[in-house]
Amino acid sequence: MRMVQTVGAAVMLALSIGGLANAAESTPTPKPTESTPTPTPKPTGIPGPLRPITQPKSIVSQAKPAAPPVPIADLFANRASLGAAWSPDGKWVVVSTNLDGRFNLWKYPATGREPVQLTHSDDRQSGITISPDGKWVVFQQDHGGDEMYDLYAVPLAGGGVVDLTNSPTVSETGPRFSPDGKFLAFAAKPKTSPISDVAVMDMATHKITQLTHEKTLDNRWAPAVFTPDSKALIANRGDVGSTSGSIWRLAVTGHPDATRLTPGIQTKVRVSATDISHDGRSLSVTSNYDGGVDQAALLNIKSGKLRWLSPTAWEQSGGSFSPDGASVMLATDTDGRQDLSTYNLKSRKVTKAPLPEGFNTEGGDDNPFTSDGRLLVGHDGAKTPFDYWVLDRAGKATRLTNFAAPGLDAAGLPISQIVHYASADGTVISAILMVPFNLARDGTAPAVVVPHGGPTGQTTDRFSRLAVALVSRGYLVIQPNPRGSTGYGEAFQKANHKDLGGGDLTDEVYAAKFLTATGYVNPKKIGITGGSYGGFMTLMAVGKTPDVWAAGVAMYGIINWYEMMKHEDAALQAYQRSLIGDPVADKGVYDADSPMTYIKQTKAPLLILQGENDIRVPRGQAAEVVATLQGVGATVDVHYYPEEGHGFAKRENQIDSVQRTVDWFDKYLK
């Protein structure tokens, strides 16, 4: 279960982040044979961007002799990252990466030499910012996956780690230094509270001053950026359901003062700030104010008016201003693939960054630019694991990190395709499909449907270790973006509210129908697996539509919304209410939307994987599934991971969870 972070809060562990090959150096990926797409009919279901329906028989399994399964341990020899930041002099990039099996901090020379490890911890570290004088690296770290973060500081030159906040009952996240280095801003969330406020620490005295005092139980604050004079902080306030937002100017010193910078924007509209121009007059923002689709814009601080940059039918986000103040970055998510572009503030010309197709993003937790205009970029694709690259002002990309395993051959991996199919009510659903090599179109192949987390999330075309492990072993893998997903507009995102496991489950079932219609897949050999909300969907699927699935693996999935409300973190309780309402007033919704209502009808063998310290989907949810299914004689197994939270951060547990998933499907689908 994941909250959409329009204003930022607890860090989400990225378990499927992937990589980049320089466009000038990489070998072009062959495209599958495709028939002429069927013109998109007039939508009859939930509206979204127009997309042509994919003919199932146009899907082709490419021939590649001697394409062996990718060893699972090798997939996790591809390192991942939870964030990065430039040093002020542009000589170093500090990266949170699991080079040693844990997400610790390493500093990479911009010249490309070997990295140096800065911190050593069993716990995950992220949220990196570096002091303007270049002396201190500040980051956040939780404890055993409990998502109760403290802020720590370590010298960039190396040395001991200092706990800046040391507050076991308050979680501090998203640190940002003021330009003069005197203040550190962050979001502070008490353990028992559903909301977060903004606070600043005086770096000379370590005194903390709370700048906001939220009175509601469903809105939260997060710092965005300091004003150039360091006297004020731009902060975002948004509701937990990600349906509304506003931007504020908070005085840092002197008399406390909070000024709303978006008074003319309606209450039920999202708007959030990313960066401030060098003259302090404009903000780079993201808003769905015009038409319900997130777009990049400039907000005039004085007038409160928005200037849209380059509107499209697809979701965009506003990025960082260039050091010379001449341009601002924007990112466009087109059906799960994301491009970065530069918007020239004078000519209003948009120039796409010269990066390969896949998922491209600004690479810094804080400022992704150096003072001389170099841009840190993160890139990955379905065949290439995640890496950081540096894009210079001339447009040349140079890879900074080398996270890919030495033996990984991208040419030996099946490509991904974005396909579109119509669900039961005509709603067009996008999905990412991977097809194994060398299949005969004889209706015998096994397949797996992989629903994403959230529900307010999106599967993007990135490197997925689980998908590669399965597809290289002969499984077709489809990852749908059903109603409720982000990336397709506000109406589509809200289409599953108070209907979790209803229309969105139907969209997953129709993904299975699409697989069968390709002619490759045996309809009696289709499994389903996912984590978080994907785990919920797996549990709902095997219970509510038992005849569709031959096996399931549910990772930290919700089984009982009533019990979730009792035991989950307070912020997640507020998020749950935004999705399905109050457990008393909306009892009918809770019953209809809980897998527990249907789980006794399960026919498919089911495996449960769960972290012991999960605050989002507590351990008791997994135990309840197992006890219920054992009580009716169903085939069920469970494995608990100690010192893990929501998602598995330790490499040995990541490997083990994928191996157990593959073994389960091999046993029941092959």
Position 209 scores a pLDDT of 95
Residue 118 CA, distance from chain mean position: 26
Domain that holds residue 543: 56-74+408-669
Q: Which residue in 124, 18, 69, 76 sits closest to 656, CA to CA?
A: 76
Instruction: Please check whether residue 201 lies inside any domain of the structure.
Output: yes
Structure tokens at 292: 């319900």
pLDDT of residue 4: 34
Q: What is the pLDDT of residues 532-582, one digit of tens each?
A: 999 999 999 999 999 999 999 999 998 888 888 888 778 888 889 989 999
In a domain, 23, yes or no: no
What is the per-residue pLDDT for 276?
98
Region 308-319 average pLDDT: 95
CA-based torsion, 490, 496, 497, 500: positive or negative? negative
3-state helix, strand, coil in the chain (%, to 5): 15, 35, 50
End-to-end CA distance of the chain: 30
| Residue carrying structure tokens 């780079």 | 284
Do 65 and 103 lie in one domain? The reply is no
Q: What is the per-residue pLDDT for 5?
A: 34
Across residues 375-389, what is the average pLDDT?
A: 92
| Within-domain flag for 224 | yes
Report whether pLDDT(255) > 90. no
pLDDT tens-digit series, residues 479-505: 999 999 999 988 999 999 999 999 999
User: What Å distances lie between residue 41 and 51, 122, 313, 428, CA to CA?
Assistant: 9, 53, 17, 10
Whether 212 maps to a domain, the answer reads yes
Write down the pLDDT at residue 226: 97
625 within 8 A of 640, measured Cβ to Cβ: no
* pLDDT tens-digit series, residues 434-451: 999 999 999 999 999 999
Angle between helix 533-544 and 503-517 (nearest 10): 80
Both 229 and 335 in one domain: the answer is: yes
CATH number reported for the structural domain that contains residue 447 in this entry: 3.40.50.1820
As a dihedral over the C-alpha atoms of residue 76, residue 79, residue 83, residue 86, rounded to 10 degrees, the angle is 180
For 582-600, write each residue's pLDDT tens digit.
Answer: 999 999 999 999 999 999 9
The closest of 224, 139, 223, 228 to 179, measured between CA atoms, is 228
Please state the pTM of the whole predicted model. 0.85
- The pair of structure tokens assigned to 89 is 């002099």
Answer whether residue 91 shows pLDDT above 50.
Answer: yes
Quick check: is 486 in a domain? yes
Query: Do 61 and 131 lie in a common domain?
Result: no
Range 60-65 average pLDDT: 92
Last residue of a domain, one of 366, 399, 432: 399
**Residue 247 pLDDT exceeds 70:** yes
**pLDDT of 336 over the 70 cut:** yes
Q: What is the DSSP track for 420-484? A: EEE-TTS-EEEEEEE--TT--SSS-EEEEE---SSSS----S---HHHHHHHTTT-EEEEEE-TT
Q: What local confidence, expressed as pLDDT, does residue 364 receive?
A: 85
Instruction: Tell me: pLDDT of 3 over 80.
Output: no
Q: How confident is the model at residue 13 (pLDDT cuts 50, 70, 90)?
A: very low
| pLDDT at residue number 75 | 87
> Count of domains in the chain?
2
* pLDDT reported for residue 410: 78
| Three-class secondary structure of residue 668 per DSSP | helix
Q: What angle do CA 161, 165, 170 make, to 5 degrees?
A: 135
Residue 38 has pLDDT above 50, yes or no: no
- Tallying the residues shown for the chain, one arrives at 670
Residue 243 has a pLDDT of: 83
**Are 285 and 303 within one domain?**
yes
The residue from 364, 381, 399 where one domain ends is 399
Sign of CA dihedral 37, 39, 41, 47: positive
d(CA 410, CA 382): 9
Mean pLDDT of 227-240: 95
Nearest to residue 147, comparing CAs of 492, 503, 570, 531?
Answer: 570
In a domain, 2, yes or no: no
365 and 449 share one domain: no
Kindly state whether residues 412 and 384 are assigned to the same domain. no
Same domain? For 433 and 413 the reply is: yes
| Residue pair 9/571 in contact by the 8 Å Cβ criterion | yes
User: Can you give the CATH number for the domain in which 297 is found?
Assistant: 2.120.10.30
CB of 489 within 8 A of CB of 290? no
Position 22 scores a pLDDT of 28
Considering 380, 399, 418, which residue would you say is the last residue of a domain? 399
Q: What is the CA radius of gyration of the chain?
A: 24
Q: Do 105 and 65 share a structural domain?
A: no
Whether 37 shows a pLDDT value over 50: the answer reads no
pLDDT tier for residue 454 given thresholds of 50, 70 and 90: confident
Flag whether 45 is in a domain.
no
Q: One-letter amino acid identity for 649?
A: A
pLDDT for 8 equals 32
Query: Average pLDDT in the 380-389 region?
Result: 90
Do 598 and 544 touch, CB atoms closer than 8 A?
Answer: yes
Q: 299 and 414 in one domain?
A: no
360 assigned to some structural domain:
yes
**For residue 291, what pLDDT is reported?**
85
Residue 44 confidence (pLDDT): 60
Per-residue exposure over 12-23, b if at least 16 CB sit within 10 Å of its own CB, e if not:
bbbbbbbbbbee
Same domain, 231 and 339: yes
More confident residue, 38 or 408: 408
How confident is the prediction for the chain on average, in pLDDT?
89
Which residues share a beta bridge with 109? 92
Is the pLDDT at 25 greater than 70? The verdict is: no
Q: What integer is the mean pLDDT of 358-382? A: 92
Find tokens 């230094």 and name the residue.
177
Same domain membership, residue 83 and residue 62: no
Q: Can you name the residues that pair with 299 across neighbouring β-strands?
A: 283, 306
- Let me know whether 365 and 508 are in one domain: no
Name the maximum alpha-carbon separation found in the chain. Answer: 74
